[in-house]
Amino acid sequence: MGVIVEHFPLYAQGFLQTLRICLFSAVGALVLGTILAGFRVSPVPPLRAVGSAWVTVFRNTPLAVVLFAVAFGLPELGVNGSYFYFGVIGLTCYTAAFVCEAVRSGINSVSAGQAEAARAIGLTFSQSLSLIVLPQALRTVVPPLGSVIIAMIKNSAIVGAFGVGGDLFAQGIQLTSAQGYAAAGVLTGVLLGYLLLTIPGGILLGVLERKVAVAR
Amino acid sequence: MRLSHLTRIAAVAATVVIAATACGGQSSSLGSSGAAPSVAQGASFPAGSTMDTLNKAQTLRLGTKFDQPLFGLKGLDGKPAGFDVEIAKIIAAKLGIPADKITYTEAPSAVREEVIEQGRVDMVAATYTINAKRKERVSFAGPYYVAGQDLMVKSDNTTITGPDSLRGANAKVCSVAGSTPSENIKKYIDPANLTLFDVYSKCADALRTGQVDVVTTDNVILTGLIENSNGAFKLVNKKFTEEPYGIGIKKGDVAFCNFINQTLKEAEADGSYKAAWDSTVGKVSPEVPPLPAVAACS
Amino acid sequence: MTTTSMIRMASVDKHFGELHVLRDINLEVESGQVVVVLGPSGSGKSTLCRTINRLEPIDSGIIEVDGKRLPEEGKALAGLRADVGMVFQSFNLFAHKTILENVTLGPLKVRKVGKAVAEKDGLALLERVGIANQKDKYPAQLSGGQQQRAAIARALAMKPKVMLFDEPTSALDPEMVQEVLDVMTTLAGEGMTMLVVTHEMGFARRAAHRVVFMSDGEIVEDASPETFFSNPTSDRAKDFLGKILTH
């Protein structure tokens, strides 16, 4: 356990790196996933096709394969860039598929009459989605979305293995195998780091859930 | 009938021995046991010693890498092969245990101390660098080889000439997460330029596609990658560390440690050390290294 | 005698799978006219109402509003819908917005009027339908009758050329029906062009210029209320009226 105190700066760096990966990916996945959900319920068939293709591909592919494809596929195609962004792109694309489905189920939970009334006063499809349907979908979407984001935080440990490095889990690996500390002690620190991300995340979601529930 | 059966076995056994000595015959030392170290018959060890226990059990549980070409790489037959494994076979033979009685457990870098501490293996030979931190938890026999960290670049690269040239060239360097080389290289580069993967093959791929400029780790591992690259990569050949590879055993087992060290010395003298090298790493790096001076056991 | 048609439907057909819900519908509603559509349930009268602002697309035929063909799904259709007010059976007020926000949303987002103007006009409309004191409540806090009056105000806020009512009182408790019908009657008296799908015979007699009777997806009769109620020509209309009036 002394290792946690002894190498606190290393843990702190790892924590910040994981936080950075998660923040970028969460924002990316929430935005992209919501747009994809919009695609899936849109009246335009090609958009619907893109939405369902995305979900089919990314929801049914292991994250490690997605990350592999991004980190090694893009350079193969001549796209070079930092592994940090490759990792964020991979995690974003993957998580967006789950966000999309959570948001879509929320959209379906809003009664069809709401969208009809919105269209009847002349709102466009995207206005009706963003002003009427999504705000009401939010209430049902928050809990599943919370699970998706918490899963994403944990998944970020896999991102570290694709050249990104420096994240919480990678720092743990570095301490155990390169510096020979006992795995149990090191991983306790790693675990605490992840809990420090996920538990406040969960509390924040609870607060948000109550807030959106009141707003009606 | 029964007699002819026995005769046949004897004949086969003789052929194997002759073949083995014929191979070993290329080495200089006389009376060499060759590539297949001869199993010590009727060896006796102090009662209660690890050697005695292993000899009586007639099995040796080895922790080694399954994915390290030339040192410990699991083959199609399901058994790992490489220099680490050959060294283990020499030790097993001295314990009176035939090579086919060795059982293999995968010991990736992260769990090598654990498998020893938990008694899941009797020893670990897994490109296992001896260092003070690890010595707090396990004891090391050997070293049996001194590797050194080096750099690998694309064949047409002329700007990277050694570790000191990395910062100037703002080179992106790739290594494996949790490895000693990945710690060492931090002295020479900006941490932001360090890319870490779980295996070196990914580093090699990243080097090929231009995602990184340099791959760094122990020279022998790089040699293996270069061999597979069909001339695309080259070694910078500026060894900048000394990585003494040891045999990890239960902490404080001084008798076993001394036994292994003695075995290593004998192996160098009788040519089985050279044979182990020639049949593995030597295929890529023919020059047989001298057996390093073994450290005192503790 | 050149009265313009606000709504024109010509040879309109629509199927729901096997079901032929609209059969060769031809209907014109002149500007300022109030047309009540009657008929047994399943006769297609609600569907007819919903095709006029293309909430239901049609299979064939022509629908024009104020002389313009209904556009395909997109911005132009949204523009047309802004000019056609619609009141639903189940109110469909935006559940996450206050009554005033419900009424001002369209003007703000579609008509792009300023917030102050939208709120002033919205309040005036709520005043007109008698629920200005409820402006800051959410729909779920209002009674059905109040909600439906708010929904009418929401539609009127768009200053529509025509108002469609799709069974506006069917989901209401009996004691609340009258307050909604009163608002509609006033509206009719002010010269609003209206197409009203309803079961309220009293409203049809009092406010309608014409009664259209539908059965099995067809328009069976199209007459003045007096003629329709006193002298229906078809058996299906007689049958329908017989069932209703004996109650």
pLDDT tens-digit readout, A12-55 = 888 999 999 999 999 999 999 999 999 999 988 999 999 999 99
Mean pLDDT of A143-162: 90
Confidence of residue B3 (pLDDT cuts 50, 70, 90): very low
Strand partners, A164: none
Q: What angle do CA B141, B88, B57 make, to 5 degrees?
A: 100
Confidence of residue A214 (pLDDT cuts 50, 70, 90): low
pLDDT of residue B54: 93
Contacts by B186-192, CB closer than 8 A, 24 or more apart:
B187/B163, B188/B163, B188/B164, B191/A166
Question: Which of A43, A113, A122 is the closest to C82 by Cβ?
Answer: A122
pLDDT (tens digit, 9 = 90+) per residue, B142-170?
Answer: 899 998 999 999 999 999 999 999 999 99
Q: Do residues C9 and C26 lie in contact, with contact meaning Cβ atoms separated by under 8 Å?
A: yes
Neighbours of chain A (3+ CB pairs under 8 A): B, C
Confidence of residue C247 (pLDDT cuts 50, 70, 90): low
Residue written as token pair 């056991």: B297
**Whole-angstrom distance, CA of residue B81 vs CA of residue B95:** 20
| Interface contact B211-A75, CB threshold 8 A | yes
Is the peptide bond prior to B143 cis by the omega test (within 30 degrees of 0)? Answer: yes
Torsion angles phi and psi, residue C15, rounded to 5: -115, 145
pLDDT of residue C165: 96
Give me the torsion for CA of B73, B79, B83, B85, rounded to 10°. 130
A12 Cβ under 8 Å from any chain B Cβ: no
Question: Which of A114, A123, A215 is the closest to C92 by Cβ?
Answer: A114
The CB density around residue B178, as the number of other CB atoms within 10 Å, is 22
**What is the radius of gyration, based on Cα positions, of chain B?**
21
| Interface contact A121-C154, CB threshold 8 A | yes
Report chain B residues whose CB lies below 8 A from the CB of A178: 109, 178-180, 182-183
**Six-digit token string for C194:** 């209206």
What is the number of H-type helices and E-type strands within chain A?
Answer: 11, 0
A3 Cβ under 8 Å from any chain B Cβ: no
pLDDT of residue B21: 42
| Interface contact C110-A122, CB threshold 8 A | yes
Please give the tally of structural domains in chain A.
Answer: 1
Domains of chain B are: 1-146+244-298 (3.40.190.10), 149-235 (3.40.190.10)
**Whole-angstrom distance, CA of residue C160 vs CA of residue C107:** 11
Region of poorest pLDDT, from A171-180, C87-96, C177-186:
A171-180
Minimum distance, in Å, between the CA of residue C79 and any CA atom of chain A: 6
| Interface contact B211-A177, CB threshold 8 A | no
Q: Do residues B39 and B102 lie in contact, with contact meaning Cβ atoms separated by under 8 Å?
A: no
pLDDT (tens digit, 9 = 90+) per residue, C92-134?
Answer: 999 999 999 999 999 999 999 999 999 999 999 999 999 999 9
pLDDT (tens digit, 9 = 90+) per residue, B44-101?
Answer: 888 889 999 999 999 999 999 998 888 888 888 888 999 999 999 999 999 999 999 9
Looking up residue A106, the CATH number of its domain turns out to be 1.10.3720.10
Confidence of residue A1 (pLDDT cuts 50, 70, 90): low
Cα separations in angstroms, A202 against A142, A159, A198, A209, B29: 11, 22, 6, 10, 70
| Interface contact B110-A177, CB threshold 8 A | yes
Q: Which residues, 6 or more positions from C47, have their beta carbon under 8 angstroms from its beta carbon?
A: C14, C21, C22, C56
Mean pLDDT of C176-204: 93
**Whole-angstrom distance, CA of residue B144 vs CA of residue B262:** 11
Whether this prediction's pTM lies above 0.80 is answered by no
Q: Which residues, 6 or more positions from C180, have their beta carbon under 8 angstroms from its beta carbon?
A: C145, C148, C149, C152, C168, C169, C172
pLDDT of residue B5: 54
Identify the sign of the CA torsion C51, C53, C59, C63.
Answer: positive
pLDDT of residue C3: 57
Chain B touches chain A, with at least 3 Cβ pairs below 8 Å, answer: yes
Q: Do residues C232 and C238 lie in contact, with contact meaning Cβ atoms separated by under 8 Å?
A: yes
In this predicted structure, the answer to whether residue B39 has a pLDDT above a threshold of 60 is: yes
Q: Do residues C126 and C103 lie in contact, with contact meaning Cβ atoms separated by under 8 Å?
A: yes
Neighbours of chain B (3+ CB pairs under 8 A): A
Nearest chain B residue to A161 by CA distance is B197
In this predicted structure, the answer to whether residue A175 has a pLDDT above a threshold of 90 is: no
Smallest CA-to-CA distance from B27 within B278, B203, B260 is with: B278
Give me the torsion for CA of A147, A150, A152, A155, rounded to 10°. -120
Q: In chain B, how long is the greatest CA-to-CA distance?
A: 78
Domain hosting A149: range is: 2-212
pLDDT (tens digit, 9 = 90+) per residue, A95-122?
Answer: 999 999 999 999 999 999 999 999 999 9
| Interface contact B197-A163, CB threshold 8 A | yes
SS3 C149: helix
| Interface contact A119-C83, CB threshold 8 A | no
| Interface contact A170-B196, CB threshold 8 A | yes
Question: Which of A162, A163, A176 is the closest to B178 by Cβ?
Answer: A176
Question: Which of A122, A215, A216 is the closest to C81 by Cβ?
Answer: A122
**Whole-angstrom distance, CA of residue A169 vs CA of residue A163:** 13
Q: What angle do CA B39, B41, B44 make, to 5 degrees?
A: 115
| Interface contact A178-B182, CB threshold 8 A | yes
Q: Do residues B239 and B151 lie in contact, with contact meaning Cβ atoms separated by under 8 Å?
A: no
Interface of chain A toward chain C, CB-CB under 8 angstroms:
43, 111, 113-114, 116-125, 127, 131-132, 135-136, 215-216
Question: Which of A75, A162, A178 is the closest to B210 by Cβ?
Answer: A75
| Interface contact A121-C75, CB threshold 8 A | no
Nearest chain A residue to C54 by CA distance is A120
| Interface contact A136-C73, CB threshold 8 A | no
Nearest chain A residue to B196 by CA distance is A163
Query: H-helix or E-strand containing A113?
Result: helix A112-120
Q: Which amino acid is it at A208?
A: L
Chain C touches chain B, with at least 3 Cβ pairs below 8 Å, answer: no
Minimum distance, in Å, between the CA of residue A25 and any CA atom of chain C: 29
In this predicted structure, the answer to whether residue B278 has a pLDDT above a threshold of 70 is: yes
HEC letters along chain B: CHHHHHHHHHHHHHHHHHHHHHHHCCCCCCCCCCCCCCCCCCCCCCCCCHHHHHHHHCCEEEEECCEECCCEEECCCCCEECHHHHHHHHHHHHCCCCHHHEEEEECCHHHHHHHHHCCCCCEECCCCECCHHHHCCEEEEEEEEEECEEEEEECCCCCCCCHHHCCCCCCCEEEECCCHHHHHHHHCCCHHHEEEECCHHHHHHHHHCCCCCEEEEEHHHHHHHHHHCCCCEEECCCCCCCEEEEEEEECCCHHHHHHHHHHHHHHHHHCHHHHHHHCCHHHCCCCCCCCCCCCCCC
